[in-house]
A and B are shown apart, each in its own frame.
Chain A
Amino acid sequence: MKKKITLFAGMLALATSIYLMAADHNEAQAIMGTGSDIADLYAFQSPANSNYMVLGATVQGLLSPAATANASFDENVMIEFNIDNNGDAVEDLVIQCIFENGQVSMYGPYAPATTGLNSTIDKTATLTQADITSYGANATIGRNGNISLFAGPRDDPFFFDFNQFGAILGGSATSFNNPGDDSFKGTNVLAVVLELPKSMLGSGESINTWVETKRKQ
């Protein structure tokens, strides 16, 4: 009996692993396949100007090229970049992106009135807008002063032999292959990328950042 239970647990782990589309792609049932499913977060010094930082978030991972033309940002979902610049893992600044009528509107960075799971938008915050780039079109970049903004479909920058990892977790393989096989090759995501002066994010050595998707109630 115990052997049976162990076997069942192993099968359950395998079944679960099929849904574990990493980095954050499709990782939880409540948001799987919805406009709020985050794929990845990137934060790096601008390759073009070392005084600038680039923040990028991707959502709706694993889009096939055929599905990408019809994919769109959910107009009821905000993509919120959170910035903690004093090391307590609580956001001191937010950058909020919403999508309406073919445009992305980015508010901030600004200090939110309240922190946590529920957000409102301070419409008096710095507003940067850009037309959402269509599939197959050249990237449209919105600018406001020193802030640059892009939203639209991109190749998923993430790479991982996720299928083999799933096989290892499920017990049907014991190691990765060399070379491995990128489970994300040939797939797209919807991306928001922004670039802004580091001085708008903090004055210390570093920041902590994370991205949240929040649905309009």
Chain B
Amino acid sequence: MLFVATIALGFTSCDDDDSTTPEVPAVYAQEDQMGRPAINTVFVTGMENKNTFNVTIPSQMAAGFAAAFESRLLGLNAGYTTNALGMDAATFSGALVTDVLTANLNGTTTFFDGTNVLTGRTLADDVISVELLLIFGGPDGTANPGLSDDHVDANDKPFLSSFPYMATPW
């Protein structure tokens, strides 16, 4: 914030209609951030923390939020042991806390297709059910069957086969 203020001050001093002064490029300051779906929404609790998470760069998220993510995971599912990826609570929350989306450059890109895990995100991927299964489903995906799938499996409009792929608006 201090940094932004300094830049803004810098702007003011340059904004004096001196045609020989080179144009100072505008500074854009971060307000929101997202990698994977529902990470901030589900794992960060409290409005203040959510706002802070949105202006934390990914490489610093683990340092700031890993412990809170783990306690939130155990708050959501007190019986959490491991999930279908074989990750214990610390490992799973540690994997989630750096909120970036990995995308494979050499093959299938999917959130989960039964074989590939977290290699991208297509429009049709049922990302919420994947996350619910990993949070509530236990080591073999059968625990908490009432919580591990929201039973909304597809979008409400078919996607397009050509660019821009997203469906036309309602």
Chain A contact residues, CB within 8 Å of chain B: 16, 19-25, 27-31, 34, 36-38, 40-45, 47-48, 53-54, 56, 58, 63, 65, 68, 77-78, 80, 84, 88-90, 115-121, 123, 135-136, 139, 141, 148, 150, 153-155, 157-161, 164-165, 168, 174-182, 184-188, 191, 193, 195, 198, 201-202, 204-217
Contact = CB atoms under 8 A, between A and B. Distances in A.
Given A42-B121, A206-B103, A213-B31, A155 B38 contact: no
B155 A155 contact: yes
B114 interface: no
Contacts of B166: 56, 58, 154-155, 157, 191, 193
B142 to A, nearest CB: 14
Contact of A118 (B7, B50, B100): B7
Contact of B128 (A22, A28, A47, A208): A22
Nearest to B1: A117
Interface in B130-170: 145-147, 149-157, 159, 161-170
Contacts of A213: 30-33
A178 B40 CA distance: 26
B169 A154 contact: yes
Given A65-B169, A65-B170, A214 B29 contact: yes
Interface in B32-56: 32-42, 45-47, 50-51, 53-55
Contacts of B122: 42, 44
A36 B32 contact: yes
Contact of A40 (B25, B34, B47): B34
9 smallest CB-CB distances across A and B, nearest first, come from A175-B146, A23-B37, A214-B28, A28-B50, A150-B164, A180-B151, A193-B164, A43-B103, A185-B156
Contacts of B30: 117-119, 212-214
Contacts of A201: 105
A112 to B, nearest CB: 11
Given A58-B166, A155-B156, 11 more contacts: A27-B41, A29-B51, A31-B51, A40-B37, A116-B57, A119-B27, A136-B169, A150-B163, A211-B35, A215-B29, A217-B27
Interface residues of B, number: 80
A11 to B, nearest CB: 15
Interface string B83-116: 0000000000000001111111111111000000
Secondary structure call for the B interface: loop
Contacts of B106: 205-206
Given A175-B147, A193-B165, A53 B103 contact: yes
Interface of B: 3-4, 7-8, 11, 25-42, 45-47, 50-51, 53-55, 57-59, 61, 98-110, 119-124, 126-128, 145-147, 149-157, 159, 161-170
A213 B29 CA distance: 8
A177 B109 contact: no
A217 B27 CA distance: 6
Contacts of A68: 169-170
Contacts of A89: 57-59, 61, 98, 100
Nearest to B40: A27
B168 A155 contact: yes
Given A30-B54, A44-B103, A118-B3, A212 B165 contact: no
7 contacts: A21-B41, A22-B42, A30-B31, A47-B165, A118-B30, A120-B28, A139-B164
Contacts of A216: 26-28
A82 to B, nearest CB: 8
Contacts of B35: 41, 208-211
